[in-house]
Amino acid sequence: MSITLTDSCVKQLKALREQENSPDLMLRIQVNGGGCQGFEYAFKSETQKNTDDIVIEKDGTSVIIDEASVPFLENAEVDYVDDMISARFQINNPNATSSCGCGGSFSV
């Protein structure tokens, strides 16, 4: 499995853990059917992982991905973007053949 976390993603995860006073907080990423392109990303904070979750760790932070979502995210990069429009986690996904303008949905 080759999914990377950017330094910006790690920094935001650490800030969320501190803000919520939850040292076990992890970011869950799921790929669901839907969105304007056929598939969409879902982000959720969690403190427990399932037995079949894949865990990606960097600098003391963790991202968890369910087994069914893994093939859609192979070689992807998880980033956190804070620009004039919004602040959000974002997936830079080489498997996506197209994506919507907001980056929340994609097709393969």
40-70 confidence digits (pLDDT tens): 889 999 999 999 999 999 999 999 999 999 9
What values do phi and psi take at 67, rounded to 5? -55, -40
CATH number at residue 22: 2.60.300.12
- Tally the C-alpha atoms within 13 A of residue 20's C-alpha that lie toward its C-beta: 15
Q: Which residue has the tokens 């979502």?
A: 69
Q: Is 73 exposed, middle or buried (0-12, 13-18, 19+ CB in 10 A)?
A: buried
The pLDDT confidence band at residue 35, using thresholds 50, 70 and 90, is: low
**What is the domain extent for residue 50?**
4-107
What is the domain count for the chain?
1
For the chain, the average pLDDT equals 88
Give the global pTM. 0.86
